[in-house]
Structure 1
Amino acid sequence: MTITTAPPEVRPGRRVRRTALLLLLTLPGLVWAVIRLFGWERGPLVQVVAFTPYAAAWSLIPLVVALLARKWLIAAVAALTAALLAGAVLPRAIPDSDRGPAGGVPMSVMTVNMFIGAADPADVVRLVREHDVAVLAVQEFTPQAAAGLEAAGIDALLPHHALADEIGTTGSGLYSRFPMTDQGSRRGDGGGLQDGNLQVYATIQPPGAGPVLVESAHPLAPYALAAEDAWRADLEALPRADQGGTPRLVLGDFNSTLDHAPLRELISHGYRDAASATGDGLIGTWGPYDGVPIPPVTLDHILVDKRLGVRETQVHGVAGSDHRAVTAVVTLPPAS
């Protein structure tokens, strides 16, 4: 009688374990891709889905492993997962062929979250000067930040302003090179947990162009499960672009990435995301935070009415802030 022993690599138990491990590597990515595709993020998934670009990069690992292991069915699932996530993420890294009108009046705009007023005002003013910024939107704007910007010389560059500074994280403001009209502010939904964030708005009149409505956006962050409804309500309350009315720019800290369905829904109403349009949409604007090694995510956006053009965008570090400033050069239609 001859007794044979199967080589370890072909033992059924080991094959099953390898297959199970590959499935454990692959299926979470597929679930993530489906949630992102259909906008099903709820509860803790609201925060998790912000990291979809990292999940997209990770999805290549189980695909390669499955191909090397010749697990064809799992490889097919992994390939589908990678394709779904790539389709969601990669367009942000590819400049759009249509960025709106190329001709017209160029205007540089900038948004920065001042991190409860701790951002270095001189650094903010330096960016305004170096990038010829004509409209500046600020969030987490405190009386200390307002005084600091004034002392750093903001009024010499942007003499017109609509300010709603408050102690804490709720203040907001707009500074402009051009005259403002109809300025005001509205308070978002704090969800009963805190005061809602103030969001300043105004109409500006650049020379040679028609009027433009500008708003400094700051929806409540979904920092806790109890804040989710207020976060959604704040995004829902942001103005849609009225194609029959005055063109709009909405810029600020949206506490949302392009992987969040409520922000995509807002953009679908007549806007384009400036950074995504120029292929810079994967540059992180927030994180790490408070010493925690959180991978950077893109929470700060400049939403541009589709009747306006987008020429270029940039992201800049700001001393003292956990957010980065975003600048964009937009093109305004000439006055008729």
Structure 2
Amino acid sequence: MPLAMLFVLLVVRLTGLDAGTPLAVPVVLFPYAAVLSVLALTTMVAVPALRNLWLIIVGVLITAAYVVLLVPRFTPHHQQRIPAQASQLRVATLNAHVGRADAHALLRLVKSERIDVLAVQELPSAGIAALAEADLDKVLPYQELRPENDSSFYSRIPLTHSGPLKADTAWPQTAAQVTVGGRAVRMVAVHTYYPLGDAKRWTQDITALTSVAHDSGPDTVFLGDFNASLDHAPMRELLASGGLADIHAELGHGWARTWPADKSPLPPLVQLNHVLHGPGLAGISVSERTIAGTDHRAVIATLAVLPSKDRAG
């Protein structure tokens, strides 16, 4: 019965039962379940043969709960006006699908979007060579390349304090620091394990990043392939513990979809790729782009570096 399935998924979402369990897989479809709850309620009301007062009441309560949980990410967060003089940082992240992403298409994206810092996941040595042949090095000359660790940085701005992140994750994450408007911004290129493969390992990865976020300052950016949506309990804990904002939700882009992409028989369905930032920064814009050769869409975001007096919280 649809209502029963919707209720079970709602309970999982509310209680965080997806953490470390296979329930993490269906939770990624939570927004679609919200749409289904509206359709189910409408059908019960509109079709005389299905009308049942108690079922309608239950349907109303379930639908209301879904709406309450989802509406905040479709509503731009109230925040102070970003000062006109605030320095800006344009970032992008892309899972390169084990280096299969079209190097020239990625170069065109970097140029057209005037990217300052690019984080790339699943970039082996062959992928690095392809990007070098496409002359990405000439546009983003500062690099922290870690093919053995799965994630790398390319930057227009000099990188400092760069290298593998000290965190217990399945694949080592790469961190680096850039200076923008006189402020040091710490960046972490993220690629976690995936819940379909091992939900416990996936949870451990995000928990390890949560510890890093908790100890990081306000000028921090986590960007990459989290293999998680905003409905997953570990992801929500990461955001809360680090005082982080997901730029899509911050700007009211609640239904961004980044996977699967390119030649998949399905259109993009869920958001697994994110740009998260601390309270020292604010989101200005965010968008997604399809790059041939990879099953993930790129995420492009513009961040403002806020003066101390204008920081959130």
TM-score of the superposed pair, with normalisation by structure 2: 0.89
1:29 aligns with 2:6: yes
User: What are the ranges of 5 or more consecutive residues in structure 2 without an aligned counterpart?
Assistant: none
**In structure 2, what is the equivalent of residue 228 of structure 1?**
199
Two-structure CA RMSD over aligned residues (Å): 2.3
Distance (Å, rounded) in 1 between the aligned partners of 2:308 and 2:45: 59
1:132 to 106, 114, 119: 114
Report the Cα offset of residue 92 of structure 1: 2.0
Distance (Å, rounded) in 1 between the aligned partners of 2:194 and 2:81: 30
Stretch of structure 1 that moved more, 248-257 or 178-187:
178-187
**Mapping 1:40-51, distance limit 5 Å:** 40-41=17-18, 43-51=21-29
Give the total of aligned pairs: 301
1:146 aligns with 2:128: yes
1:275 aligns with 2:254: no
Q: In the superposition, relative to structure 1, how do residues 199 and 97 fare at CA in structure 2: closer, same or farther (>3 Å)? A: same
Distance (Å, rounded) in 1 between the aligned partners of 2:154 and 2:27: 33
Give secondary structure in 2 for the equivalent of 1:232.
helix
Report the Cα offset of residue 187 of structure 1: 7.7
**Mapping 1:155-234, distance limit 5 Å:** 155-166=137-148, 171-186=150-165, 196-206=170-180, 208-224=181-197, 227-234=198-205
**In structure 1, what is the equivalent of residue 64 of structure 2?**
83
Contact 1:185/1:199, CA 8 A, preserved across alignment: yes
Distance (Å, rounded) in 2 between the aligned partners of 1:27 and 1:105: 50
**Mapping 1:234-313, distance limit 5 Å:** 234-238=205-209, 239-242=212-215, 245=217, 247-268=219-240, 269-287=242-260, 291=264, 293=266, 296-313=269-286
Distance (Å, rounded) in 1 between the aligned partners of 2:99 and 2:112: 22
Q: In the superposition, relative to structure 1, how do residues 57 and 279 fare at CA in structure 2: closer, same or farther (>3 Å)? A: same
Contact 1:105/1:331, CA 8 A, preserved across alignment: yes
Distance (Å, rounded) in 1 between the aligned partners of 2:78 and 2:291: 31
User: What are the ranges of 5 or more consecutive residues in structure 1 without an aligned counterpart?
Assistant: 1-23, 191-195
Stretch of structure 1 that moved more, 69-78 or 110-119:
69-78
Contact 2:37/2:59, CA 8 A, preserved across alignment: yes
Q: Which has the larger radius of gyration?
A: 1
Q: Deviations over 1:193-219 (max 9, x none)?
A: xxx32311011113x230110010011
Residue identity in the other structure for 2:178: I
TM-score of the superposed pair, with normalisation by structure 1: 0.83
Give secondary structure in 2 for the equivalent of 1:173.
strand
Q: Deviations over 1:223-256 (max 9, x none)?
A: 23xx12211111011121547x461100000000
Distance (Å, rounded) in 1 between the aligned partners of 2:166 and 2:263: 27
Distance (Å, rounded) in 2 between the aligned partners of 1:252 and 1:100: 27
Give secondary structure in 1 for the equivalent of 2:254.
coil
